[in-house]
Every structure is written in structure tokens, then in C-alpha cells.
Structure 1
Amino acid sequence: MPAVPPDPAPGAGAGPGAGPRADVLVVGAGPVGLMLAGELRLAGAAVVLVDRLPAPMTQSRAAQLNTRTAEILHARGVDELLAEARPEPRSHFGGLGFELSHLDSPYAGNWKVPQYRTEAALARRALALGVEPRRPYDLIALDSPADSPAGSADAGAHVVATVVGPSGPVRLRARFVVGCDGEESTVRRLGGFDFPASAPTRELLRADVRGIDIAERRFERRPGGFAVADARDGVTRVMVHEHGRTVTRRTTAPTFAEVAQRWFAVTGEDIRHGTPVWVDAFDNSHGQVTGYRRGRVLLAGDAAHRHLPIGGQALNLGLQDAVNLGWKLGAAARGDAPAGLLDTYHDERHPVGARILRAVVAQEDLLLGGPAIDPLRAVLADLLAEPTARAQLAGLTSGVDVRYGDDPDPLVGRRLPALDLGGRSTDELLRSGRGLLLTPDAADPSRPRHPRVRAVSWPEHILVRPDGHVAWRGTGRGTPAGLPAALRRWFGPAATDVNHPISPRPDEELAPS
């Protein structure tokens, strides 16, 4: 099974000059970790993926993929997941709904699918690319040796991670470590990330329940609190907030009896006879790390940002973090990343995360606030009657308005819509993990070339990153003056040995140190 051999015991040749045992250690095998592992493999990196849970989760948890995430999954060939998802053409902001069908995308709308199905599909993709999660392995220590500083570009620089598995502790060396291990991230704590977060003031309880027949409730504000009920395939998801409840820090999930009691207090409906499939609680504490990278340790998904699951944003935000990071970290692991490329992960994704957090906090008040918030809801409802306001919120909730940088060309920084190249689409070509150069001069031998970029015929000059975002656009025939610089900036000098094949899967098991 894919893994790496253990770090030798002290004095057994494990000095700072020895090479790392993996390019990247990914901690957390949920959807974000699995997506990242697949992206890293496309980039040619040797990956070890560990998770503290003994088996994949079976709860539905996040149950919605937005338009941008659906586009990304299609571009990576995960179409079987989209085929089983239930399309919903509407979204909402604070419970005030609006249509998404006008978006310029074949995946306009939200796509309802339980998180465990998303995780299973991404696990199959990762396995096909050579990564299988190692379970259960719990991270307990991270160490960057003093003679291999975290920011060093030296090939011997590495991080030592200690994980405890079924047979005891194992020491692993990797050039980089990424925490995809959720809101209570161990990587974030051990890596020393600054994580300012608000104190919780509100709590919601959530449960998936069989055997109840209750009215559908969509963001229902009631005198005693807030309630949601959504039935599918014999299971009803209920979510409830009761006004005035003191928030206490939980170390275990609430009981179903507690959920039923609060549901009755808010709605007057008795669901005690139901059979719970899954129960959890979450509060409104929210925060974001000040930096997504500290040297050779990085964070993605809920490890980097936490907030209420309003609007289904958390999973989508995390998967999009992974796709932004994967090709960049893969280049850094290969050793041919252009200067500053890895820093663009924080530069691009931190503002996106901050914007989502602001939107979630605003929606929290709109949904969970008492009667005093009603005038503001009425004003916002009037604004949503205006096409411009609807379009802005549709872009925010769907993810399609994400743009990196401030290039004067309006296409640069945005994700390239799928283009038909005569039987093949740009999305299909991006599945290889290489960049694309759309150009009228694809066959011209004098055109600048790069082993990590595939040239295809198109009337315009457009350089596309492996994550599908436009890096540069030029005009006119012949080689535009900015193309060589754009290739170097995003893909490194072509003279570098960048035709690094995907590393073979290591064939040794994790073993105790």
C-alpha cells in the first residue's frame, strides 16, 4: 500500500543531509485532503496521506457542492459524483432566496450530495493516482530541524512528523506538510499558526433522522428560534437554534433527546419517536489563520478557516483551496517552482476565505437574530429584487466570481470557461495537471515552449494555469512580448528539468520507529 519507510533511529543515517521520505505529507483524509492528494500526484509529487479515524466517515455533514466546485470536479473527471447529485437551481443569502439558473455555467445551481459520497468519489480518484489513506495515524509532533530551515530551498530541507499508528509511533520526513485536518486542526496547533477566533455566542444542533414525517422547513425564523427540515431518501435533516440558550463547550455530540427537546421548544413538533442516524452540534465561533503557510507547513480547508455551515460554503471553500494549492506545492516539491509561486497560495486564497467569513457572519444575524433584525431583512429583500444585487450575491454563493489578482485584463485571474477545441474541451485537457497555452501559433516551432504547458490552437493567446485560472492573455499574431515572462512567472524556466514524471508509489508499509 502506498506509504513511506520510517525515519531511521538516531545514529542510523538520518542526518540532515539525508533525503526526505516523501515530498508531501497530507494530514486529514476528508474531501479536502483527498482532493489535494490527487492534485499533488498530478503534479508528480510523492504523497503520504494519513488520518486519525480508523475508517472513512459515513455521516452526510456538508451536503452541497456549489457551481464552481462542480466545474472543478468535472474538469478533474469526477463526473460520477455529479451524476448522482440532486440539482437545485436556487441559493440564498440569510434565507432570502434567488435563482442561479442565469449563471454562465453548465453547472449553474447547487448540487446536493451527502459528504460521504463526495469523500468516496475523491478517495477513488486518489487511489487511481497512487494515494491510499493510512489509518488510523494520529499526528502528535512536528519538527523542522534547525539546520534545515523551514524556508530553505535546499533539497535536504524537510519536516519531521511523528504519528501514532496501530503499531506505535512512526517518524516521517517530508519536504512539506499540509494540514487538512479540520476545525480543531492538530497541524495548525503544532505548526504554531496564529488563529484569532471569536468566542461562541450561539449554538445549533443538527441531526439526520429516520422515521419522522414533519413539514419541510426552509430557513424558518420562529419566535423561539430557527428551524430547518429537509427530507430525502427516507432521512430528514433537522437543524435547530433556540434563542437565549447559553453556549457550553462540548467534548461529545449532543444526545438525540436534546435535539428533540429543542426542536419541540422552537417548532412544537415531537420527533422523539424518530431514529437518529447522526447527531452533532456547532457554534458560531469563527476565525481564520493570519497566514496559510509557515515555511514548509501549510493549511487548507477548515484547518485554515472556520465558520457556521450557513450556505454550504465550508466544503466548497476547502476543495477550492486544495485545487489552488496542489499544482503550486507539487512544483515546490519537485524543486522547479518559480520564485514566489508557493506564496501565491496564501495571497490568493486568504482574501477569498475572509470574504466568505464576512458573508457567513452577516447571514448568521439575518437567520438567527430576533425580531430586531426584521427591518434589515426587509431592506435586503427589496435589494434582491434588483438584478445587479442578485447577480452579486449569486456570484458570491456560487463561487464563480472568484478572481485572483488585479490585472487590467478582465479575463486574467478568472477561471477559464470550458472551451470546445474541436472535439475536446479545455477542461478535458486540464485533467493531466499541465497548464494550457491557447494560441494561433500552436504549430510554430519558434514559439516559446514549456514542458509543463500544452499548446493548442485557438484564435487568441491565453495562458491557463493547471487549476484552470487564466494566468495571462496576449493579442495579435506572432509571439506577444509578455508570453516568455508569463511562462517563467507561473511555470519556471523551460531549461529546468521540469518534465519530472509522477513519482512511483512507495511500496513499504508504515512501521514503528
Structure 2
Amino acid sequence: MDQVIVVGAGPVGLWLAAELRLGGVQVMVLEARQERDPHSKALTIHPRTLEILAFRGIVDRFLAEGPRIPSGHFGGLDDRMDFSVLDTPFPFTLALPQARTEELLEEHALAAGAAVRRGHRVTGLAQDSDAVTVTAEGPAGPYTLTASYVVGCGGTASAVRQAAGIGFPGTGTTVWGWLGDVVLDRPPAGIANLSGPHGGLMIAPLPGGVHRIVGSDPAGVRSDRPGELTLDELRAKVTRIAGTDHGMGDPRWLSRFGNATRQAERYRAGRVFLAGDAAHMHFPTGGVGLNVGVQDATNLGWKLAATITGAAKDDLLDTYRAERHPVGADLLVSTRAQTALMTAFTPEGQDLRALLSRLIATVPELSRELAERLSGLAVAYDRPPGAHPLIGRRAPNLRLPDELFTLLHPGRHVLLDLTTTPHEGWPAAALIRPDGHVAWAGDDPSKAPRS
């Protein structure tokens, strides 16, 4: 019997599998696709996710792959947030196609000892007090597997979520955006953001001489899905907004996406858990979806491993929902707000965009607050009443003299004794969780709880 079955071999499932292996747990990943999707929905790795990769000593593999962008947009506004001021070793976003991100994460998971089966579609599950039985369809036909726990990481249509009877309430689509990965004979320099009453778009370079064009326009403000996007339609939209099609041709991928926004009622149902898009769906504003999903997996991984190996009691698993559900809810508020800005095509909406854009450019505190929220650096979990104010907060990369992020490589709690290396704003001791958040802080290292 496998200890954990992870359903979905996207970035979230692969990262979770590696985290579970780091904790000494047997894990099987089931993926319905025979081959990795060549089309990259996500392109952005945010600072907090880069920190998480640094926790496990593999961030350099990713940094070597893509350009670093020291700014980010909020709702497609013309003025961009300054990421260079953020308190992190990675004050930028990394531009990396999801397909390559998945390749790197799969290499990491396989090296850690995870098993990955492609072409295996989960069709149902049943659980009792001791185990979960998964029904799947593979190349050789239907079969069943039994595990101590199952985690659904298979995207917004999650078969695990549906089979577990977990509700997915929210709002339907009212806006359709569009996306094209195309070759441009006359591309703009760097990343281009354009917006106006005819719509808004962003153009970004991809590897292999391809550019991604993503945007929305007034014609997309509708609940019913338009027909399939064509190159002629994309060319007309871009020309209307930008005044040129930049010599568009040779489409590699054309797609539409909606702003349906939903969140799972529960992240846990007995021995079944959800993470990533299986737990929350939203308009892809700011490129945050992959990042929040990986952060879900980082929170769940060490807790599930500690419970299975007997290092922690089962009630630790309830803190996964308590900590990550509010993060998902905040994500939906942010993406809805940005969607409203991105589709503010009226004169009043254009004035609102201009005002907020100017504030981002002229009020550094606002720019930084938005950047910290978007990047994931602002996430802090609730602490018990009267507890030290650092508890639940993200720990920066303190130098002791070894860097904290290096000390987190084994995926275990780290007790920091700061009596001889004091840091401003920190007490004499702190216990850091495997996911980089503060578990305990106080003035006497000997009083730290056992991890």
C-alpha cells in the first residue's frame, strides 16, 4: 500500500511528491496525460516560490533558465510595482514557461524517489477510517490502489474533489480573456503593457523566438463562451489596441480563458486533501496560480509526512485548511479586483486605472504593499492569543553565519539560537518550520518546543 497517492503531475503535485519523499514517505503520482502539456499556462515564478525552492537547494536550477524581471503589474496598470525593494534574496519574478518548470520539478521528484505514472486517469475513490482506495484507468485497463492518504492536485476539474464530495462554490464566467503564443516579425522591446478603451494586452518574449500576447477587450465581457480563437481574430484585437499586429504569424497556441472564481469548501475530507487549482480557481491575473499552489503543497507536505511517520498527531493536518484556506480566499479577492481593473473599459474605468497607476508610481508604500501581497512574501498565519508576534510569519534568510535557507535543506524544523548573533526585531531564539514560517519564538532556546 502506498502511503500517499498524489493525483496530478503538474507543478503542485510534483512538488508535493518531492516534499513527501523528503519527509520519508512513499508516494505515487498519477497523471491522466500521457505526455506533459507543451502549452505553458503559467510563465511566472514569484519571489516566495523562489525562496521555497531555495529551502531545498534547487533554486539555482531555475534561476539559470529564465530572465529576472524586477517589477510586476497589478491589474495590467501601466505603472509597475517595484520588486527590487522587497526583503528577499530574490527581489524579482522569474520568467519561465510552465512546461520547463514541470520538467525541473519532475527531475527533482524522481531523484527524491517518487513514482510517477502517466496515462493513468483517476475515476473514483472511497475511504474509511484506515485508508483510501482509488479507482483508476491505465493503459492496461482499470485497477485500484490503496493509500493512507490521497491529495488532489489535478486542476480545477479535479476528479478527487468531485469524488470526495467537496463543494466548489463561487461565481461563473462574466469575462473572457484571450492568449496567443505567436511569432512576431516586429516585436516590442522587452515586456509591453498597453491598455485603453479598446482593451488591454501584455506582450512578453518566450524561448524559441515566440512571443505571448495575452489580453481582454469589451467583446469578451459576456457569460457565454465565444468560439475558438483564430489568428485573424487575435490580429484584429491586437491591432485595435496597439495600432499594429507587430508582424504576427505562425501561431503555436491560441486559447481563451474565463474569470470563473471558485474555492473548495474544505481542503480536507477525512484522508483526502486538495491543493493548487483543485482548491481554488480564478482569472490568471498577476501569474499567481502556480505559485500559490506550490505554497499549498509546501504547507501540506511536511505536515502529512510528520503525521504518517508518527512525529506529529493527526490534528496537525487540520492546520493545513486553517492556514491555507484564508490565503486562497485572499487570492480570489485580489484576482477579482484585478479583473475589474483589467476590464474597466468605460471612461470612468479608464480614469480609475489612471489614478491607481499614478499612485503605484508615486507612493512607494503602496507599490511595496501590493508587491508583497502578489509575491507571497506577505503571507502570515494566525497565531494563538498572546503568542509572540513573529509566530506564523515568514522568516527571512537570516545569516547565523550559515544562511537559514541552507539550514532548511533537509526539510526539518530549525532551532535558531540568536544569543550570540542577534538580529534586529528577533528574540534570542526561534523555531522555524520546514516551510519557512516561525513556529515558536522566545528569549530562551532551552524552552523551545520539540519540533
TM value normalised by structure 2: 0.91
1:113 corresponds to:
96
2:412 corresponds to:
434
Return the match for 1:248 from 224, 230, 234. Answer: 224
1:318-358 deviation digits (Å, cap 9, x = unpaired): 01011011001112222442252101111111111111111
Give the % identical residues.
Answer: 40
Contact 2:65 2:96 in 1 (8 A): yes
- Indicate whether 1:88 and 2:99 are aligned: no
CA distance in 1, matches of 2:228, 2:106: 26
- Indicate whether 1:412 and 2:408 are aligned: no
Q: Which amino acid aligns with 1:164?
A: E
Q: Which amino acid aligns with 1:375?
A: D
- Tell me by how many angstroms 1:315 deviates: 0.7
1:421 corresponds to:
400
- Tell me by how many angstroms 1:410 deviates: 3.1
- Tell me by how many angstroms 1:239 deviates: 1.4
Q: Which amino acid aligns with 1:293?
A: R
1:76 corresponds to:
56
Return the match for 1:235 from 193, 202, 210. Answer: 210
Map residues 490-505 of structure 1 onto 2, 5 A cutoff. Answer: 491=451
Does 135-144 or 431-440 show the bigger shift? 431-440
Contact 2:388 2:442 in 1 (8 A): no
1:15 corresponds to:
none
- Indicate whether 1:226 and 2:216 are aligned: no
SS in structure 2 at match of 1:236: strand
CA distance in 2, matches of 1:432, 1:223: 52
Q: 1:255 to 1:196 in 2, by over 3 A?
A: same
Return the match for 2:178 from 198, 202, 205. Answer: 205
1:119-142 deviation digits (Å, cap 9, x = unpaired): 111111101111132010001011
- Tell me by how many angstroms 1:70 deviates: 0.7
CA distance in 2, matches of 1:104, 1:273: 40
CA distance in 1, matches of 2:320, 2:198: 43
Map residues 364-443 of structure 1 onto 2, 5 A cutoff. Answer: 364-370=339-345, 371-384=347-360, 385-406=362-383, 408-422=387-401, 424-439=402-417
Contact 1:437 1:462 in 2 (8 A): yes
Contact 1:219 1:367 in 2 (8 A): no
1:32 corresponds to:
12
1:479 corresponds to:
446
1:355 corresponds to:
330
Q: Which has the larger radius of gyration?
A: 1
1:461 corresponds to:
429
Contact 2:33 2:119 in 1 (8 A): yes
- Indicate whether 1:195 and 2:153 are aligned: no
Structure 1 residue ranges (4+ consecutive) displaced by more than 6 angstroms after TM superposition: none
CA distance in 2, matches of 1:112, 1:180: 23
Q: 1:340 to 1:254 in 2, by over 3 A?
A: same
CA distance in 1, matches of 2:240, 2:427: 63
Contact 1:161 1:173 in 2 (8 A): yes
Map residues 81-230 of structure 1 onto 2, 5 A cutoff. Answer: 81-94=62-75, 95=77, 96-144=79-127, 148-149=128-129, 157-215=130-188, 218-230=192-204
- Tell me by how many angstroms 1:98 deviates: 2.0
CA distance in 2, matches of 1:271, 1:181: 36
- Tell me by how many angstroms 1:359 deviates: 0.9
Q: 1:369 to 1:185 in 2, by over 3 A?
A: same
SS in structure 2 at match of 1:417: coil
Q: 1:270 to 1:110 in 2, by over 3 A?
A: closer
Q: 1:376 to 1:270 in 2, by over 3 A?
A: closer
Contact 2:427 2:442 in 1 (8 A): no
Query: 5+ residue gaps in structure 2?
Result: 421-425
Query: 5+ residue gaps in structure 1?
Result: 1-20, 150-156, 443-457, 492-513
- Tell me by how many angstroms 1:439 deviates: 2.7
CA distance in 2, matches of 1:297, 1:412: 28
Does 55-64 or 111-120 show the bigger shift? 55-64
2:307 corresponds to:
332
Q: 1:184 to 1:258 in 2, by over 3 A?
A: farther
Contact 1:138 1:164 in 2 (8 A): yes
Contact 1:176 1:333 in 2 (8 A): no
2:423 corresponds to:
none
